[in-house]
Amino acid sequence: MRRAALALMGAVGALVLTHAQAPAPAARVACEVGALQQAAPAGTTITAAALVEAAAGQPAHCRVDGHAASPGNTVNFRLGLPADWNGKFYFEGVGGLGGTIGPLTKGLARGYASASTDTGHVASDSAWGTNRAKEIDYGHRGTHVTAVAAKALTASFYGRLPAHAYFNGCSNGGRQAMMEVQRYPTDFDGVIAGDPATGTPMQVGRAVFFQQLLARPEHYLPVEKIELLSQATLAACDGKDGLTDGLISDPRSCDFDPASLVCKGADTASCLTPAQITSVTTIYAGVKDASGQYYAPPFPKGHEGGPSGWRGWITGNEPPVVQPDGSLAFTGARVPSGFGLADSNFRFLALEDDAPGFSWRTFRFPQDLPRLKTMEQILSPMDPDLRPFRKAGGKLIVYHGWADPGISALGTLDYIEKMTRVVGGQAAADAFTRTYFVPGMHHCSGGPGVDQFDMLSVLERWVEQGEAPREVVASRVEQGKTVRSRPLCPHPSVAAYRGSGSIDDAARFVCRAPAVSR
């Protein structure tokens, strides 16, 4: 165990551990498997350790690979311990169905001890969904056991506990974030949940609209029809916020009717057939249960076009193939992301018993909902009671692209409104949460809106300095140049144009209450 500053010789050069504001204590543990294993918490196994030389966007650091034990499984993780440590811990969420460890670059570049996990399985294991322990670890537990192990290793390596711990993730990473604040409220001081996936309800919504979209060739929407739809929604709703700027700022005010595009005669690229209109309205509509409540939320209208819009998630950038029974199926490597995730979910994650032959095609709504209950509880972060997280002193920032074609922003809005009621109203929620909806942004990024913003700095100031978030400036960057900036306003406020100056300058907008009750 070295008590002097850790010097790394050879290709790495001299590596001295310092704090961003003041000298940090010398590393207490060498960047070696044996030393790290000796310092590891119970149930944690170190499999590799290496000194990594500084490179573009990445500081010199000790890279540690290992796994943490969970009941019936082990959860792989990677931990990066930078030479120039900022005294804090950062966890990067992972997308899709997990199975790969997320990159540590973002946290390391800011001086964080940084970790990520594969959530308890490897992507190459096609049978992982038959193992209940692996399903639970993917659902929520794998993130937790990794956080516990990685924070303990960080404390051992530097000789003191991290001053603060943060989680940041989008999509499935956003789902991980929400699981953390709901199930493990003391793991992190600050959490960022971007476009959070909802697990089972989200997949049920996909099954319902894919059953319609792929039932017959005449139901399908080719690329040109998606672009037609996107242009029509923009033309109908762009000016609803009082400003015609190529963005539908708040799609809740968009009353576009797809039937306005119905073909008056032959099917052409400039109209939708009745079957295609039914497909569009099915996607927009969401799915309601017997009580009239949404089980799967509707999708907002607007900005459906582009490769990262409906084409990337729902209808495909390449058309499906007609099957012998006349239905359609996406094949090959470039299936739309939403279809690929729904297909996998219904094959091996939807049911407790993984019944052979069960699929998104055979699923019946609402008859099959009871069969999904067990896995819904494992996968879906739907508990609106965040009072334990508030009591622990945690801070949560949620953001979601209004035009997200993969996960409905209206589902996030519904959750936030339920959470706000449970914790005691808007003032109580504002004491520890903020939510931002991003106009024109597709899934986590992309789309015609602003999609570049720094929520981590906002969260740091809130947790460390008590500076409650207000508007956050977001930018649209094209070819390395910022072409537009806008304020993201904390819900329920919305951005409004001041009436003069460039519409591409965030300073010309102000956050205010919506003009009408939503």
Q: What is the DSSP string of 288-353?
A: E-TTS-EEEPPPPPS---STTTHIIIII-SS--EE-TTS-EE--SS---HHHHHHHHHHHHTS-SS
DSSP collapsed to 3 states, 415-456: HHHHHHHHHCCHHHHHCCEEEEEECCCCCCCCCCCCCECCHH
Q: What is the DSSP string of 369-380?
A: HHHHHHHHHHH-
> In 3D, which of 186, 194, 199 has the Cα closest to residue 397?
194
Cis peptide bond prior to 366, omega within 30° of 0: yes
Q: Per residue in 424-476, pLDDT tens? A: 999 999 999 999 999 999 999 999 999 999 999 999 999 999 999 999 999 99
- Judge whether 445 and 403 are in contact, CB under 8 Å: no
Give the pLDDT of residue 22: 36
Give the pLDDT of residue 7: 29
Residues in a beta bridge with 79: 64, 115
Q: Please, what is the average pLDDT of the chain?
A: 93
Q: What is the Cα 312 distance to its own chain's centre? A: 16
Residue 4 pLDDT greater than 90, yes or no: no
> Residue 481 phi/psi, 5° resolution?
-120, 135
- Judge whether 168 and 456 are in contact, CB under 8 Å: yes
Q: Per residue in 65-77, pLDDT tens? A: 999 999 999 999 9
What is this structure's pTM?
Answer: 0.94
Q: Per residue in 379-405, pLDDT tens? A: 999 999 999 999 999 999 999 999 999
Judged by average pLDDT, the poorest of 26-30, 100-104, 140-144 is 26-30
Q: Per residue in 182-216, pLDDT tens? A: 999 999 999 999 999 999 999 999 999 999 999 99
For residue 514, name the pLDDT band (cuts at 50, 70, 90). confident
Residue 27 pLDDT greater than 70, yes or no: no
Tokens of 428: 């109580």
Catalytic residue IDs: 171, 404, 443
Residue 220 pLDDT greater than 60, yes or no: yes
What is the C-alpha end-to-end distance of the chain, expressed in Å? 61
For residue 244, name the pLDDT band (cuts at 50, 70, 90). very high
Residue 332 pLDDT greater than 90, yes or no: no
d(CA 239, CA 259): 20
Residue 15 pLDDT greater than 70, yes or no: no
Q: Per residue in 247-259, pLDDT tens? A: 999 999 999 999 9
